Homo-oligomer: A and B are copies of this chain.
Amino acid sequence: MKRLITICAVTLLFAGAASAQEIANFSRGQQVVSPEVYDGGSVTFRLAADYATTVYLSGNWMAQGEGPVAMTKGPGGVWETTVSGLEPEIYTYNFIVDGVAVNDPVNYKVQRDGTRYLNMVFVPGERSAVYNEAAHRGTLTTLWYDSTQLGLNRRMIVYTPYGYENSKKTKYPVLYLLHGGGGDEEAWTSMGRAAQILDNLIERGEAVPMIVVMPNGNPNQQAAQTLGLGTSTINTRDPAYANAYVKSLVTEIIPFIEKRFRVIAKPSARAISGLSMGGGHTLTASQLYPSTFDYICPLSISSQDTPEIRTQLRALKNDGYRLYFVGVGNTDFLYEGAQTLDRILTEEGLQHTFYVSEGGHEWKNWRLYLQTFAKLLFK
């Protein structure tokens, strides 16, 4: 035992020294707490900036024209403001210090939205409870597949539920979950909290264990721009490549997933959902390949009303499906187009849910839709 303790002491000594040097530049003398979240949806934001002349808070909960909000300088050069009445959700924010947009230096909870990094603040409550880490967590696999059709090696992220590895035989249903314009394969796990939402719903027994596949939906990209990889030279507006991404999804990604993972390979065990551009992909995939998915959940998306689309919807109806869930916010700029989709689905006799929430074209809604429709899948 003595020997063990001696080595331990040496290790701790090194650890301490290394730590000190490695994190020396993390300390910027700012001892403030920010954000501080209180019961009832009040949040205080603080920034220690004695030198600043003006500090504003910009948050994604502020309606157009409502923000940014001026913060007040207090003792010790600490700027502060308190926001009240935030509903349980995850919000993003930053500061504007003398005209310069700055992240909160004491809040290391950051998410990437396309090419931008934003601080997160979590307001707890029933709606946002599923965004927390569950006790039992699935696995996220970041992997690459070859798309012959798009001429690229492409990245995707795959969620396998807790317990997937405990069996060598159990097969799972699959949700194909697609991001929007400006997003990439990391959008649903970063901003969308998809892993946490599924972990929690599965742990509670509210959703069945499922695999979630999150590909990159930009047809000429290999992966998120942050990787700096080359793009495809295919002109995706060339009619020869019409719906190139959706074709690749159905004829390349699905077979790849069904070979690589233990998957129930039939329509009744396949769901597709996507937001915005990914909602367009969801519509296109379900209309061009009506025998592929029994669960269809386009989010924040509009539809035109054309004879072709109506013909396709009738084919989908005849082919059969189990769930058609349309989610949209009541201030979404695509709300009217989503109403068109609702109307033509009704007129063509396709049973569906038209789920309208407060708010616009934003992640708080997409997270809400995921936690709502995930409970309805594969049941």
| Chain A interfacial positions (CB closer than 8 Å to B) | 1-8, 10-12, 14-23, 25-26, 28, 49, 51-52, 97-103, 105, 108-110, 112-117, 133, 135-137, 139-144, 153, 165, 180-183, 225-229, 237, 239, 242-243, 246, 260, 276-277, 279-281, 283-284, 287-288, 300-304, 306, 308-309, 311-312, 333-334, 337, 361
Contact = CB atoms under 8 A, between A and B. Distances in A.
Nearest to A21: B361
Contacts of A337: 14
Contact of A228 (B114, B133, B183, B229): B133
Contacts of A8: 239, 242-243, 284
A242 B143 CA distance: 38
| Chain A interface main SS type | mixed
B137 A144 contact: yes
Given A18-B334, A108-B225, A228-B109, A288 B182 contact: no
B139 A300 contact: no
Given A21-B361, A26-B115, A114-B23, A142 B144 contact: no
A102 B102 contact: yes
A182 B19 contact: yes
Contact of A229 (B133, B277, B303): B133
A109 B284 CA distance: 33
A108 B4 contact: no
A183 B22 CA distance: 9
B153 A22 contact: no
20 contacts: A3-B308, A4-B243, A5-B239, A7-B284, A8-B242, A11-B246, A11-B280, A14-B334, A18-B181, A18-B276, A19-B180, A19-B277, A22-B182, A26-B113, A51-B98, A100-B100, A108-B114, A133-B228, A139-B144, A165-B260
